[in-house]
Chain A
Amino acid sequence: MRDEGGPTLSAKARAIRAGDVRTISRGISGIENGDEEMRDLLRELYPFTGGARVIGFTGAPGAGKSSVIHELIREYLRFGLRIAVLAVDPTSEFTGGGVLGDRIRMPVFHDHLYIRSFGARGRLGGLSDSCGQVLSLLDAAGFERIFVETVGAGQSEIEIRYYADTVVVVANPNQGDDIQMLKAGILEIGDVFIVNKCELPGADAAAAELTKMTHLFAKGERDGDQIAGYIPPVIKVSTREKIGLPELLNGIEECLHYLEDNDLLRASRRRRVEQDLSHTLSRVWQNKVLAPFKATPLWQSLSEDVSAARLDPWTAGERLWEAITAADFITTLPQKTTLPKKRSKPRKE
């Protein structure tokens, strides 16, 4: 039985625990916009997290990530699970706008399904700082599987490793000869590999090549990101011809089982938490230390000296560090420049 949280919870937290879509949606917007009140809500919800499994999807643009998620949703719904999808799409760094197109490929509605599109909002990697918070909210809302579609380019494909329990890498047949070219990084983060569009020529070759690579990695040295003793499956899928979808569900669930049986889910949760904590700490450092520090005479005079080549940047860096490590450092920072207030009100466009 799911603990609904009892009367000590706020109305909003209770609505989210009960799966109220509107409150969940508004909560996610609040997180995205950095609303202050979200911190209290998340504090209330956090004890209820831990039930969700996060599955990340990455792969080149157009590889079929959204189509695969769509078919998987249907497979999963048959098991009565509650599913959430976070689909991240690139937005223009210049205008901040964009058409978030993943959802068109997922024309499915169900009481147990929640789909949300995200603009990468110009953030490096596309997975926002808010990703961890949004996942916690959905987890507390009782979603049992959360699918995250990354923009499939740049840093996000590596970052998803920190947030997902299982990462699915979507490749295509035409990459047959190029599989070796798939960035080593991608091969290292995958827990399940699929060759989507497998009805097209070249699928067998691509799958064989991928299998070879996964074994190579399995035998080789594994770093902390890899699951010890686990060899990622390579599955041929066609969303068009409806091939390989139950097999894909099995592959994902077996990976999750493996993690569970070997007490590794805790490790992936731990990895997510550490990523979140470092995001939080960088933000605090940026706002509470670095920003006011830049306004101090010490910082100003040192940067002046470095610009005039009277001093080298490394020595200047050491002096700044000395200042920071002095016992009374925080009290020397200018008082006025406190946290730049996060806006919850609309910005004038």
Chain B
Amino acid sequence: MSGGKIRVLIAKVGLDGHDVGAKVVARGLADAGMEVIYTGLRQTPQTVVKIAVQEDVDIIGISLLSGSHMVFIPEVIRLLKENKADDIGVFCGGVIPVEDITELKKIGVKDVFLTGSNMKDVAARAREIYAERQELRHAR
């Protein structure tokens, strides 16, 4: 009954008007036994981090289609650090050019899932990220 439950925030940042993908991922992670909170469309990095801290999520999954990932994602990561919440793991998904993936991982993004990724893989990675985070918390 007790024991940690994985809590994930699925976030849409920027002006994209589409969230089918984000909702599919939210549903998929919920079906995999996680508690998923979805931000709704058009959030800023500030509001995403605020929600993540209030909800004490383990992971943030950011969905982007607009091409502004190199602006928004580093900002989310910076704000997490600023709020001493950088033990929250970040992954992202959507439309992201392959050449940006290395750069995103360099700044601390745990993984990047391109449109069409298998939900099972996403859920499995989410569990790994959660486990890493748990170790981080214990170490602190």
Contact = CB atoms under 8 A, between A and B. Distances in A.
Given A25-B53, A100-B35, A104-B39, A347 B27 contact: no
Contacts of A95: 30-33
25 contacts: A26-B56, A29-B56, A33-B2, A33-B5, A91-B30, A91-B35, A96-B5, A97-B35, A98-B30, A98-B35, A98-B36, A99-B30, A99-B38, A101-B38, A104-B39, A109-B47, A116-B55, A117-B55, A121-B1, A121-B5, A343-B2, A346-B4, A349-B6, A349-B33, A349-B127
A327 B53 CA distance: 51
- Interface size class for chain A? 35 or more
Contacts of B37: 99-100, 103, 117
B52 to A, nearest CB: 9
A21 interface: yes
Interface in A18-54: 21-22, 25-26, 28-29, 32-34
A342 B36 CA distance: 24
B3 A97 contact: no
A345 interface: yes
A346 B33 CA distance: 13
Contacts of A92: 30-31
A91 B134 CA distance: 23
Contacts of B34: 97
A185 interface: no
Contacts of A115: 51, 54
B106 interface: no
B96 interface: no
A107 interface: yes
A109 B29 contact: no
A114 interface: yes
Contact of A342 (B2, B40, B53, B130): B2
Interface string B43-78: 000010011011110000000000000000000000
Given A21-B53, A91-B35, A345 B134 contact: yes
B122 interface: no
Contact of B26 (A29, A99, A345, A346): A99
A345 B4 contact: yes
Contacts of B38: 99, 101, 103-104
A6 to B, nearest CB: 25
B39 A97 contact: no
A33 B4 contact: yes
A346 B3 contact: yes
A125 interface: no
A342 B40 CA distance: 35
B30 A109 contact: no
A314 B35 CA distance: 43
B50 A109 contact: yes
A347 B30 contact: no
A21 B54 contact: yes
Contact of A97 (B1, B36, B55): B36
The 8 closest A-B CB pairs, nearest first, are: A34-B2, A347-B3, A25-B56, A97-B30, A97-B33, A343-B3, A346-B4, A104-B40
A92 B29 CA distance: 12
A22 B127 CA distance: 22
A59 interface: no
A284 to B, nearest CB: 15
Contacts of A29: 4, 7, 56
A25 B88 CA distance: 13
A185 B38 CA distance: 33
B109 interface: no
B85 interface: yes
Interface string A104-129: 10010100001111010100000000
Contacts of B26: 99
Name the residue in B5, B50, B54 with the highest tally of chain A Cβ atoms < 10 Å from its Cβ.
B54
Interface string A78-90: 0000000000000
A40 B70 CA distance: 44
A96 B40 contact: no
A321 B6 CA distance: 42
A28 B7 CA distance: 13
Interface string B11-41: 0000000000000001101111111111110
Given A22-B83, A119-B35, 17 more contacts: A22-B85, A25-B56, A28-B56, A29-B4, A34-B1, A99-B36, A100-B36, A103-B37, A103-B38, A104-B40, A107-B40, A109-B47, A115-B51, A117-B35, A119-B5, A121-B5, A345-B3
